[in-house]
């Protein structure tokens, strides 16, 4: 591990102090410490946020406010999440292991970095690590890589389960910096790789995620998360889907569809949502929606199976939500 400085912040103000722009913030550390040990991330300085009081889940009339330091396990088990945003609870519980979920935070999960083996092993050609060096995965071993949202510069898949459900629920992310506060919709928080895969989010240097807000939408209670993977537990998604359905009188009045394991960012499919509107909640609509969600794919030689897998995963999630 590379030597680094360390500051434990006792308040948000202290965390945002003088050198925040040059530091990396650490919360649960489940991703960051791993990458530091691998030598992939070499921060000069860590600012530890764990002492900040950002660890509460509060239900309001506008929805649910989640502190950035709420642990994944606490969020997954929270009654409001289990009942009003079920897909989010399911997504969280499908990720990692109990030990990791006890440690990992909501803010940290928003910042989770890709599992691309070329990236994690610091192989020579990786535009995330060394901009302009190329993408070894594009013509290399890319079975686990993205089929949506990639470019020739990067096809690394976004690994989070939590973010997929939050994208479906249109979460808002509150950010604080010395300059003040802003709120960013989660759909705009993560960036497509384009020509700059090393820039993964809109988070500015020195900016801290303080809160995630979920809007109060009744039909989000009728939501599901389905995840397909290479083993039964403790494994990232090959494809996943978070869906919510508003079904009234046998007709879908509104739908939310997001995909994981297939995109370079947590993938919202408004195309699928459009198709579902006004349709009966059953096979033909679900399959049409699934095809639409994957219409813009750009698979590589080893990951073409994900197109079908993602469609079937989405159909399964829609079926489960319809039957809920």
Partner 1 sequence: MKAFTGQGLDRVDGRLKVTGAAEYSADVPVANVAYAVIIGSAIASGKIARIDVDAARSAPGVLAVLTSANAPKPAGASAKGPQNGRVLQFLQDDRVYYDGQPVAVVVADTLERAQGAASLVEVTYETSPPSVTLDPTSSEAYAPEKLVRDPTDSHRGDFDAAFARAPVTVDATYTTPCQNHNPIELHATIAVWQGDDKLTLYDATQGVFGVKRKIARLFGLAETNVRVISKFLGGGFGCKGTPWSHVPIAAMAAKVVGRPVKVVITRQQMFAFVGHRPPTIQRVSLGATHDGKLTAIRHALVSHTSRFDEFVEGSAVVSRSLYACPNVETSHRLVRLDVATPTFMRAPGECTGNFALESAMDELGYALGMDPIALRLKNEADRDGDTDKPWSSRSLRQCYEHGAALFGWSRRSREPRSMRDGKWLVGFGVATATYPVHRSAASASARVKADGTAVVQSATQDIGTGTYTIMTQIAADALGLPFEHVRFELGDTAFPEAPMSAGSQTAASTGPAVQRAGLAARRQIAELAVADAASPLHGLSVTELDAKDGALFIKSDPARRDTMADVIRRNGGRDVFVEAKATEGEERKKYAMRSFGAEFAEVRVDPDLGEVRVARLLGVFGAGKILNEKTGKSQMLGGMVWGIGFALTERTRYDVRDGRVITRDLADYLVPVEADVPEVEIAFVDEVDAHVNELGAKGIGEVGLTGAIAAIGNAVFHATGKRVRDLPITVDKLI
Tell me which residues touch partner 1 (CB under 8 A). Answer: 1-3, 39, 115, 117-118, 120-121, 123-124, 136, 139-141, 143, 228-235, 238, 305, 308-309, 312-313, 315-316
Q: Residue count of the chain, please give it.
A: 324
Nearest distance from C-beta of residue 47 to partner 1, angstroms:
22
Whether the CB-CB separation of 195 and 153 falls below 8 Å is answered with yes
Nearest distance from C-beta of residue 80 to partner 1, angstroms:
27
Q: Which among 227, 229, 150 has a CA at the least distance from the CA of 193?
A: 150
Whether the CB-CB separation of 232 and 221 falls below 8 Å is answered with no
Residue with Cβ nearer partner 1 (11 or 122): 122
Residue with Cβ nearer partner 1 (124 or 215): 124
Residue with Cβ nearer partner 1 (124 or 194): 124
H or E segment to which residue 93 belongs:
helix 86-93
Nearest distance from C-beta of residue 234 to partner 1, angstroms:
5
Residue with Cβ nearer partner 1 (117 or 280): 117
Residue with Cβ nearer partner 1 (212 or 262): 262
- Counts for the chain of helices (H) and strands (E), in that order: 13, 12
CA 236 to chain centre: 12
Number of Cβ within a 10 Å radius of residue 69: 23
Nearest distance from C-beta of residue 214 to partner 1, angstroms:
28
* Coil/strand/helix, residue 12: helix
Nearest distance from C-beta of residue 289 to partner 1, angstroms:
15
The greatest distance separating any two alpha carbons of the chain, rounded to the nearest whole angstrom, comes to 62
Nearest distance from C-beta of residue 288 to partner 1, angstroms:
16
Residue with Cβ nearer partner 1 (138 or 169): 138
Residue with Cβ nearer partner 1 (117 or 191): 117
Whether the CB-CB separation of 101 and 71 falls below 8 Å is answered with yes
Question: Phi, psi at residue 195, to the nearest 5°?
Answer: -95, -5
**Residue whose tokens read 């591990």:** 1
Nearest distance from C-beta of residue 115 to partner 1, angstroms:
7
- DSSP single-letter state for residue 248: E
């Amino acid at each position: 591990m590379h030597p680094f400085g360390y500051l434990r912040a006792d308040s948000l103000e202290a965390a945002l102090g003088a050198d925040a722009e040059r530091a990396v913030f650490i919360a649960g550390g489940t991703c960051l410490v791993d990458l530091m040990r691998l030598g992939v991330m070499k921060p000069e300085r860590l600012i530890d946020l764990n002492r900040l009081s950002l660890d509460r889940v509060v239900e309001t009339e506008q929805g649910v406010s989640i502190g950035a330091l709420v642990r994944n396990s606490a969020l997954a088990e929270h009654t409001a999440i289990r009942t009003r945003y079920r897909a989010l609870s399911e997504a969280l519980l499908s990720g990692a292991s109990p030990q990791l979920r006890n440690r990992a935070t909501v803010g940290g999960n928003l910042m989770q970095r890709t599992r691309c083996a070329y990236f994690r092993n610091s192989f020579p050609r990786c535009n995330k690590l060394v901009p302009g060096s190329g993408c070894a995965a594009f013509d290399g071993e890319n079975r686990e890589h993205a089929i949506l949202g990639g470019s020739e510069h990067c096809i690394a898949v976004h690994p989070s389960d939590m973010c997929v459900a939050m994208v479906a629920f249109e979460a808002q992310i509150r950010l604080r910096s010395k300059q003040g506060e802003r709120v960013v919709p989660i759909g705009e928080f993560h960036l497509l790789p384009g020509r700059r895969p090393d820039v993964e989010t809109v988070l500015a240097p020195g900016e801290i995620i303080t809160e995630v807000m979920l809007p109060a939408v009744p039909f989000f209670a009728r939501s599901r998360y389905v995840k397909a993977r290479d083993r039964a537990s403790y494994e990232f998604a090959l494809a996943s889907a978070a869906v919510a359905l508003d079904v009234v009188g046998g007709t879908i009045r509104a739908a939310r569809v997001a995909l994981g394991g297939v995109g370079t960012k947590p993938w919202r499919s408004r195309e699928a949502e459009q198709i579902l509107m006004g349709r009966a909640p059953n096979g033909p609509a679900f399959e049409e929606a699934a095809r639409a969600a994957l219409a813009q794919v750009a698979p590589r030689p080893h990951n073409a199976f994900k197109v079908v897998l993602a469609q079937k995963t989405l159909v399964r999630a829609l079926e489960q939500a319809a039957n809920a």
